[in-house]
Amino acid sequence: MAARSVEFVTTTINEPVFLEGYLENVVAHGHDPTDIGVTVVGDLKTPLSVREFCEGLTDEFGIDVDYLSVDDQRRLIEQWELLELDRYLPYNSIQRRNVGYLAAAAEGADVIVSLDDDNLAREDDIAGLFSTVGDSHEVLEVTTENNWYNPASMLTYEAESSRDIYHRGFPYSRRDTSQTYDYERTEREVMVRAGLWFDVPDIDVITHLERGPRATSLREEFEDELVALGDETFAPVNTQNTAFHTDLMPLIHTIPMGQSVRGMEVSRFDDIWLGYFLDRVLHETGGTVAYGGPISTHDRNTHNLKRELEHEAVGVRLNEIVVDTLESIEIEGDDHGDYYRDLIRQFRAEIDGEVDYEFEAYFNEMLDGMETWADACDTVLN
């Protein structure tokens, strides 16, 4: 892979036809193809035809679309001497995308745009807007009384009020039906740009089952605006249609899930906890997360919602421990990686003997994995 400023990274077990829309968008907005690239991360279920499909996209659009098969990933990991990372990141899971993040950063990408294969491109200048991550922007900085902001409130919905529709992973204990937010126009360094989505919003399974809302537009007051988190404000960040500056690499870690806690599989909080840990570090380092454009259409893949509800159930309880802990600890460091490692240490100390044994064991395993990721970033990027 050649070095480029913006790298789109996705994982899929299908031919990534959705990428055609993104490449057409890049060409339509006149971007230099050498500044843009795509990394497609394969998995055990990914068909062999994907490599040829990606090569065809490269030929058609003049933009490098690199395919990392399982064998390619293993060769990279052996080259990096990080066999522990390969053991840590499960196959047949979205967490293989972590290898793509690391490969893109190692090849010199400044900005990583994380995409799901059901995020469809719209008319916004996607690469142009995302390439500004790392720059200072005029933003609407949001603060709240309880330090929690709901990005889903920026959208309007078919036959629904947006007031009580919350982004996936938003803690139930921090939900305030008044949703009173204060906005101040200011300049902030935007290190993460979370593009929003029309059609199927990224919300919890209960709301999907109960109401099945569809997002139709941005609220009028947020059109052509970026809403950025204040210095003590938390909000969910997902890994679909979201751009991260690679200075944050230790924090850009989609956490492996699937373990059983109290007889239930934990899932649907992998990128949410990534976002909360990232929020907490940015509170110290001065950058921020901003929400708004570019907008994608979320043509959500078929999901078994009742099964997802089971996976989300125990995660809701664990999520409360995560947010309580992040609000209570103090962390120190000289850079993002230092702060991340200190967050891991302080999180361990905070829960030691203070939560149910099974929860503590789960979190300690998670924190071990976070250290594995931080070690990998140090080895490859420093």
d(CA 50, CA 179): 45
Helices (H), the chain: 19-28, 49-61, 70-80, 83-88, 97-106, 126-130, 205-211, 270-285, 305-328, 336-351, 357-381
pLDDT in tens, 338-381: 999 999 999 999 999 999 999 999 999 999 999 999 999 999 99
Mean pLDDT across the stretch 65-94? 95
Q: Tell me the two tokens of residue 49.
A: 């035809």
Chain segment 211-260, per-residue pLDDT in tens: 888 999 999 999 999 999 999 999 999 999 999 999 999 999 999 998 98
Interior CA angle at 152 toward 147 and 155, to 5°? 130
Domain residue limits, the chain: 1-123
Q: Inform me whether the pLDDT recorded for 142 exceeds 50.
A: yes
Which numeric CATH code is attached to 1-123? 3.40.50
Decide: 261 and 362 in contact? Cβ < 8 Å.
yes
Q: Are strands 288-298 and 227-229 parallel, antiparallel or unpaired?
A: antiparallel
For residue range 262-317, what is the model confidence (pLDDT) as tens digits?
Answer: 888 898 899 999 999 999 999 999 999 999 999 999 986 555 556 667 767 889 99
